[in-house]
Every structure is written in C-alpha cells, then in structure tokens.
Amino acid sequence: MNRFFKLFSLLFLGILLSFTTFNDKKIIVIDPGHGGTDLGISKNGILEKDIVLDIAKRIKALNKNENIEIVLTRESDAATTLTGRTDLINKLKPSMVISLHINNSKNTETTGNIIFTKPETFDFAKNLASNFGDCKIEEANLHLLRNSKSPAMLLELGYMSNETDRTYLNSEAGKDEISRKVIAFINEH
C-alpha cells in the first residue's frame, strides 16, 4: 500500500511538473497562409501555399530554445479558414503570431518584404523588419490582425511576380535564410 502511494505521488508529481513546464513555455504561432484548394499566389507551378508551409516547418525545426514552443496553424496542405486560424490563436494565447505570405504585383520589378501590422504590434514589426534588408512596415486591417487577441504580424516574404524574389523563395538557400531570420527574431523576444 505504501509503495503504491509512493508510485502514485511520483506519477502525480510528474504530471504536475510537465504541466508547469508546458505553461512556462512561450508560445509563438507561425501561420502559413492559404492551403488546400486555396493556392495563394502561383507562378510557373510555384505555389505560395507550399513555400510558406515549407518555411514555417523550417522555423519550427530550427527552434532549439526549450522555453519556446512553436505551433503552426497548419502542418500540412490543409484548407484552413481565417476564422479557424484565429480561433486556434485565441485558444493558444501565444505571445506572438507571425503569418507568412508571398506578395504579388503587376509590376514585375517590384521586390522586397512588407510587414502588415496593427498599431500595438508596431515595435515587434520594427524588430522583425530589422532582420530583413528591404522591409516596409504598414498598418493593415486584416482578419488575422484584427481578430487575434495576441500581437500579430503578417510577413510578406517577397514577390512571386518578381523573378529574383521568386527564384530565391523557391530555393533551399532562400528558404533556409528566411527561416533563420525569423527564428533569430523569435529568440530575441
């Protein structure tokens, strides 16, 4: 009986500890845009939904910080509604949300990054922008920003319409470099 009680106490302590550890972790949500039949921007068979998912997975894999838990809004090529995304975000209550997208322009010369943000996340956006060379910050009234109770930003990783950006975004080196810039920013916070 005594031994049983000891075992039970140990088990209970274990559960308590793992629960505490989980709660102590800072949750960061990475939201790869689009998915399923929603391809996002596509050009020459290169799909926005695939590139942003690939980069999101790399960011998660690069996270070696045991105080940070990275959660993706989709782990596969799944159709995920905007409401589904923000419902998940508001349930997780992360300290930050970064949504990943690729831009498009009629002008094929247009290049560079843009961070769309809300006023209360402007400082976060400035820090993230400093990790990218050519990066504008703009306020935008987007569903994900408006309906996330957590600080949220939408990062446009470059232009599908620009050949240099597209080649970079579709390359191993490009995807790796972008992921490292994002994880560096996450680790600074």
- If one asks whether residue 49 binds Zn ion (CB under 5 A), the answer comes out as no
The region of 27-35, 122-130, 136-144, 169-177 touching Zn ion under the rule CB under 5 A is 27-35
**Residue of the chain from 32, 33, 35, 158 that contacts Zn ion (CB under 5 A):** 33
Is 40 one of the binding residues for Zn ion (CB under 5 A)? yes
b/e per residue 64-83 (b: at least 16 CB within 10 A): eeeebbbbbbbeeeeebeee
Query: How far is 46 from 183, CA to CA, in rounded Å?
Result: 24
Tokens for 63, please give them. 């996270």
Give, as ranges, the residues between 150 and 189 that touch Zn ion (CB under 5 A). none
Using DSSP, how many helices (H) and how many strands (E) does the chain show?
A: 7, 8
Candidates 17-25, 38-46, 71-79, 113-121; binding stretch for Zn ion (CB under 5 A): 38-46
How far is residue 61's CA from residue 100's CA, in Å, rounded to a whole number? Answer: 16
Options 29-37, 67-75, 119-127, 138-146: segment touching Zn ion (CB under 5 A): 29-37
Least Å from the CB of residue 184 to Zn ion? 23
Number of Cβ atoms within 10 Å of the Cβ of 35:
22
- What radius of gyration, in Å, describes the C-alpha atoms of the chain? 19
Total binding residues toward Zn ion, as defined by CB under 5 A = 3
The residue sitting closest to Zn ion, measured at its beta carbon, is: 101
| Per-residue x/- track, 67-106, Zn ion (CB under 5 A) | ----------------------------------x-----
Nearer to Zn ion, 40 or 158 (CB): 40
**Alpha helices (H) along 44-187:** 48-62, 82-92, 122-130, 143-147, 163-169, 172-187
User: Least distance from C-beta 147 to Zn ion, angstroms?
Assistant: 17
Residues that bind Zn ion (CB under 5 A): 33, 40, 101
